[in-house]
Every structure is written in structure tokens, then in C-alpha cells.
Amino acid sequence: MRSHRCGQALKTVHVGAVLAGFGAESGGGYTFEREILTALSVQAGASDHRFTVLCPQPAEEALRAVTAGTRLGVASIPRGSGRLGAMLLREVEAVRAHWRRPSAIDTVAATLGVQFVWFLSAQPDRTDLPYMTVVWDLQHRATPWFPEMSARGTWDAREAVHRWFLQRASRIITGTEVGRQQLRGFYQIPDDNILVLPHPTPAYVSMETVSQGDVLEKFGLREPFVMYPAQFWPHKNHANLILALAALKRQGLSVSLALSGSDQGNRAFIGDLAAREGIGDLVHFLGFIERSDLVALYRRALALTYVSWCGPENLPPLEAFALGCPVIASRIPGAEEQLGNAALFCEPGNPMDIASAVAKLNANPDLRQRLIEDGRLRSTRFTPRDYVAGVFDFLDQFETVRRCWP
């Protein structure tokens, strides 16, 4: 059913949905973009508004094939003014204020008649049009001590970009009330400019086939094992998880660990730590794995141990819920709001607390079954279709503003 207000049809807003074009190896960003794009392609026909996907040039041909037969248009965004020019425009206020050339997005938008920009993922860019974006985390403010948040000018660059990009947004989507509070506190964003839409459970988990053959034999795993799909950044907290499993081994419980994800500079450190703690044979580095293998691992694992210091907008706990894998998660701001009573929470900096949660699940089949059932129910709470419907509701409201100029 198309959107209507007071019995009258809405005027169409032409929306440019900007796809950052993450690669599959990037993990959650790739999955999120694809899930929302898929839901949009299905639901676009139910909206009075018009949508054109704006994507990097290399992705245009593939996207046209994906969106064929839908109401979505596709157009590519040409490369900008080079790396130095892009950096200056992102980070220097005076340059942005006086640089009068239209951005690459605005050039394409003017040609197509796009009136509003929707950044599908947390990827800041420059536009003079009204726009909506999403915030997955503000961890450079919440946990600035991690090197990936601060080293080599990273903190300064992130802060410079976030401040102007978020403060100028027409709407910012965040998944939790904690996210709303952080936007208010860190950047003084008015409540009316914040839209809370919970992180959706990926739809692919209900459709993905399991890999053929024995996934344990394929990766050399033994049961019981826990899994942690996360890129090797310090904030992902692999180190305290290693210390937890080492403590369990000293107590007589050997639990293997399956680690998937790309190396962001911390993998060697984690491997050395596992060897020093005497559990090198229990820790398996799988690298980037196919979705079918990931699904099979979720279904065989004792638990997902998502012990990251950062979040809570993380996809793996939601994937695990949908696939019947119990979740052990860090007790960080927003996590209990997102995961409810469907996860077993632990203190991320306390290896013994992490170890206790793993041991408790291993020894208590009833607790494990309760978490599986609660997780499956929680996974149906909010879907990509719900997320897109929330965006449509906002666009219906914004049309009353957008009609005020040509």
C-alpha cells in the first residue's frame, strides 16, 4: 500500500540512496548495505517517493542487474577531486565554506533531479542537498584510547568529519536510545533530528544454504568450540577472550575458538598471546570465510562470544540469534537494550567473567536452550523491511518541508 496522509496522495520526493560500495571482506558494513538495498528494491513500489541508487562507478553494472525489474534507478558517482582535495573538503571548515564547486554527489543529483540524499551506511560525504545518514557507533569519542581510534591523527580526522556531517544532517538514524544520548551529548544533536530504528536482523540468514561436508573437519575444529567473527582490531578484544579460554583450560575444560575476519594489524599479536598462554592448538584463524561456512559454524558452535569493547550496533549477535546459536556478549552501553534477555552478558575486561559465561553454557543445556529460543524470538523483532518502512515514514513527513522550494 502506498503512503498517504489525510486521504490525499503525497507529492513525490526523488531520493538518491548513496551506496558506499563496501567489499564483502569488510564484514558488517557490506552486509548492512546489501540488506537495506535488497529491502528497498522490494518496497520501493509501495512508496510514493522515487529512488535512485547512487553508487561508485565500478559497482554500477552489477547493481543494474540486481535492481532490474524494480522501481529503483541506478547511477554512478564519478571520482571526486583526488585524495588531497577530498581530505581538505572533509576536514577543513574554511575550505568547505568557500569551495564553490558542487560535489560529485550534487553533480549527479542535479542531472537526475534528486532532491534528498539518503546515505545507506555510515560513510560521510559532501552534499548541499538535505540528507539522512546512519550512525553505527561513536567509538572514537566513547573509547578514544584504542590506537585505531586515535593513532596518526585518526581521532582528529574522525572528529572533524563527524561534527560537520552529523550536525548538518536532516535526520540521523541510530539503533538505540543510548545512541540517541551519545548524539545529544557528543554533538548536541536535537532530539527531533534523531530517528531510532533498531539494527535489523539480516534476512540472508533465513535463506543461506549450509556448506557441504563437515565444517568442523574443513577447519580442523573440535567440539566444544566458540566462535567470534570479527576483524582483528584491538577494540574487538580478542586478547581477553584468549585469556578466558586459557583460564578454562587450566581448570580442565578445553574449548576451541574459531576466529574469522580480516587482519587489521592485530592478528600476529593475538596468535603470539595464544601460544604464550598454552592454547595455540585451540585457536583457529580462519580468515575470510564464505557465508555458507559461517552459517554452518553458527549452527554447530557452543556459543558466539561477541566480546567487543565497541557497539552495540553489531550484526553477528543478530545473525547468531536467527541461526540458533547462543550469544555471550559484552556488557557495554546499549547492548542490553539491543539484545534484551536473549544474551548472556559478561564484562569485556574480565577474562574470568568471560570464562564463567562459557563454562556456564557448556554445563547447562537448559540455559543454552533458553537462550536459543529467546534469541530466535528476538531476531524477528526488527527486519530490514521494518527499517526501510521507518525511512519511508520520515520521507512522508519531510515532503511537507521539501515542497517549499523548487
Q: How many Cα atoms are found within 13 Å in the side-chain-facing hemisphere of 159? A: 12
Mean pLDDT of the chain: 90
Report the C-alpha gap between 394 and 400 in whole angstroms.
Answer: 11
Which runs of consecutive H residues, i.e. helices, occur in 68-146? 82-91, 93-98, 104-112, 139-142
| Contact yes or no for 168/193 (Cβ under 8 A) | no
User: Does residue 7 or residue 338 have the better pLDDT?
Assistant: 338
Query: Binning pLDDT at 50, 70 and 90, where does residue 22 land?
Result: confident
| Residue given cell 530490514 in the structure block | 384
pLDDT of the residue at 84: 47
Average pLDDT over residues 212-236: 93
User: Does residue 27 or residue 147 have the better pLDDT?
Assistant: 147
Q: Which domains can be identified in the chain, with CATH numbers? A: 4-200+383-402 (3.40.50.2000), 208-379 (3.40.50.2000)
Percentage of residues in the chain having pLDDT higher than 90: 72
Count of CB atoms situated within 10 Å of the CB of 356: 18
Given a cut of 70, is residue 6 above it in pLDDT?
A: no
For the stretch 190-203, pLDDT in tens is 999 999 999 999 98
Average pLDDT over residues 80-104: 62
Average pLDDT over residues 158-171: 92
Given a cut of 60, is residue 123 above it in pLDDT?
A: yes
The pTM (predicted TM-score) of the whole model is: 0.89
Least confident of 77-81, 180-184, 187-191, 197-201: 77-81
pLDDT of the residue at 161: 86
| CA separation, residue 284 to residues 6, 138, 242, 244, 253 (Å) | 59, 31, 11, 16, 17
| One-letter amino acid of 230 | A
Backbone φ, ψ for residue 232 (5° rounding)? -85, 75
Given a cut of 90, is residue 26 above it in pLDDT?
A: no
| Contact yes or no for 200/386 (Cβ under 8 A) | yes
**Most confidently predicted of 68-72, 126-130, 160-164:** 126-130
Least confident of 85-99, 201-215, 322-336: 85-99
Given a cut of 90, is residue 88 above it in pLDDT?
A: no
Least confident of 97-111, 184-198, 310-324, 373-387: 97-111
For the stretch 258-289, pLDDT in tens is 999 999 999 999 999 999 999 999 999 999 89
| Residue given cell 531476531 in the structure block | 379
User: Does residue 131 or residue 69 have the better pLDDT?
Assistant: 131
**Which grid coordinates belong to 65?**
542487474
Average pLDDT over residues 334-358: 97
Given a cut of 80, is residue 79 above it in pLDDT?
A: no
Average pLDDT over residues 155-168: 90
| Contact yes or no for 296/211 (Cβ under 8 A) | yes
pLDDT of the residue at 57: 86
Report the C-alpha gap between 34 and 120 in whole angstroms.
Answer: 9
Average pLDDT over residues 196-221: 84
For the stretch 391-403, pLDDT in tens is 999 999 999 999 9
Average pLDDT over residues 23-38: 82
pLDDT of the residue at 148: 95
pLDDT of the residue at 94: 61
Given a cut of 70, is residue 99 above it in pLDDT?
A: no
Given a cut of 70, is residue 293 above it in pLDDT?
A: yes
